[in-house]
Amino acid sequence: MSAGGFWRRSRARPEYEEATTLTATDRCDRCGARAYVRVLLPSRLELLFCAHHTREHGRALAEIAVEIQDETRRLTRTAA
């Protein structure tokens, strides 16, 4: 997929909407896996990423993002 196609697939986030917990229906914009990270861009577009693509693109996203909602901690199991 070209980079241009990747960005065009993004969704615009309504201004009144608060960030909610990501669910199993939220999918990574790169590969379609379950998303654990939501990135809000200055243009109010929202991108969703799986943990793998967050690690791969995290530095670049942190430089341009207005807000990052990271729920990757949900992937780690706690000792009982």
Tokens representing residue 27 in the block? 């999918």
Q: Which domain holds residue 37?
A: 3-11+23-75
Question: Tokens representing 35?
Answer: 């998303």
Q: Note whether residue 53 is domain-resident.
A: yes
Torsion sign across C-alpha atoms 29, 11, 19, 42: positive
Whether residue 80 lies inside any domain: the answer is no
Q: Which of 63, 61, 56 is nearest to 7 (CA)?
A: 61
Mean pLDDT, contiguous 10-residue spans, the chain (80 residues) = 40 58 95 96 94 94 94 77
pLDDT score of 18: 60
* Rounded (5°) CA angle 68-25-50: 45
pLDDT at 20: 86
Domain count, the chain: 1
Q: What's the predicted TM-score (pTM) here?
A: 0.72
